[in-house]
A and B are shown apart, each in its own frame.
Chain A
């Protein structure tokens, strides 16, 4: 039932909207390069694993922006592949969609999940105001096949994350370079971001998780930094660790960016110490 509503949303609402944006209304890119961040693994504008307060793409007031992304995370026993897209308007609101497929290289099989995200900028301007840019967001997540999440003790096959993110760019902060700082608090029931379901047999309450990113813009087009994402650890049969990654982002121009990262995802579904490379490409109009 829920599954079909997600498919329906994508087919009937998202893609036509997306295509209309690209073909019909046109777009604009008044904002300066790199201020749209990258697309995180959940499809929201941000760092590799953390949603930021920034709005995807380079649209400013009264302007549309669209992005498409493909990401791969290659750790010891798993491969995560994500495709996603987003539409944003007015540098204010961002609607995103991502489809995640976690290939279980050692166990066999895979886990898939759809994520629909909505983000709204509440106050502040990333570059200009003393007040950081602050956005609120939701991510509706829906897992395809609940058998493995259920086997490791998850309660539900879908859930909603709520977050508040604050992001600010400090000009001339380090070696004359600009530094971006982001802090995010997320209310979530998701196990491994949702790929292992939501809640557990004995606990169905929201947990508040802290996430942070720091990036230094070494040149106008090159950023290096790190993400940290605190995670709940609720499942009896699959311990879970915080995630972190160190990244280098190349913002080739306002249409193309590439992020390479080294990620430490800790324990996943009984496999400890999962580390490896993260590669993401984003196109923006």
Chain B
């Protein structure tokens, strides 16, 4: 029985490897930044996200004392950097910017949800969305319960 399982797992693994090789051939935008639509595309996503955050009770309470113009600049620059765009994020690291806020897992989940909605709204292709999420997900540990 173990042998059967091993054989099936191997056939599954080789199928996935084959599919990955095939997927490498399909054309993709050079960077996530380009996939987001460059500067205007990213700006639209950020504005959409900020509007959603402002309307979300769970999230907006963290921004009572925030200068939104500055926050927008910092967020845009950070996302541009993370997406391999022509920017270098010069702000504080994630751990420092979230210290003392005690952001919960529910807040983080909610923000991820709002970002996904914003990107869907702006017509960002699913592969680009997932690539950006892949780059942002590891920040979880530096953001929550600080």
Question: Measuring CB to CB, which residues of chain A are less than 8 angstroms from any residue of chain B?
Answer: 28, 30-32, 60-63, 91, 125, 127-130, 171-172, 174-178, 210, 212, 214, 219-220, 226, 228, 230-231, 233, 242, 244
B68 close to chain A: CB less than 8 A:
no
Majority SS of interface residues in chain B? helix
A175 with B120: CB separation less than 8 A = no
Q: Given A30-B106, A171-B134, A176 and B2 touching (CB < 8 A)?
A: no
Within 8 Å CB of B12, what residues of A? Answer: 214, 226
Q: How far is the CB of B16 from chain A (nearest CB, A)?
A: 7
CB < 8 Å neighbour of A61 from B2, B9, B104: B104
Give complex CA distance A233, B130 in Å: 42
A176 with B127: CB separation less than 8 A = yes
Majority SS of interface residues in chain A? loop
B116 close to chain A: CB less than 8 A:
yes
Chain A residue at minimum C-beta to C-beta distance from B32: A172
New A-B pairs, 15, CB < 8 Å, besides A174-B23, A210-B5: A32-B116, A60-B110, A61-B105, A91-B105, A127-B137, A128-B138, A171-B133, A172-B133, A172-B134, A174-B20, A175-B19, A175-B26, A176-B125, A212-B9, A220-B126
A174 with B16: CB separation less than 8 A = yes
B104 with A62: CB separation less than 8 A = yes
Within 8 Å CB of B19, what residues of A? Answer: 174-175
A-B contact pairs, 6 of them (CB 8 A): A30-B107, A60-B109, A127-B137, A128-B137, A129-B140, A172-B133
B128 close to chain A: CB less than 8 A:
yes
Within 8 Å CB of B133, what residues of A? Answer: 127, 171-172
Within 8 Å CB of B2, what residues of A? Answer: 210, 230
Give complex CA distance A116, B112 in Å: 33
Q: Given A62-B104, A125-B105, A32 and B9 touching (CB < 8 A)?
A: no
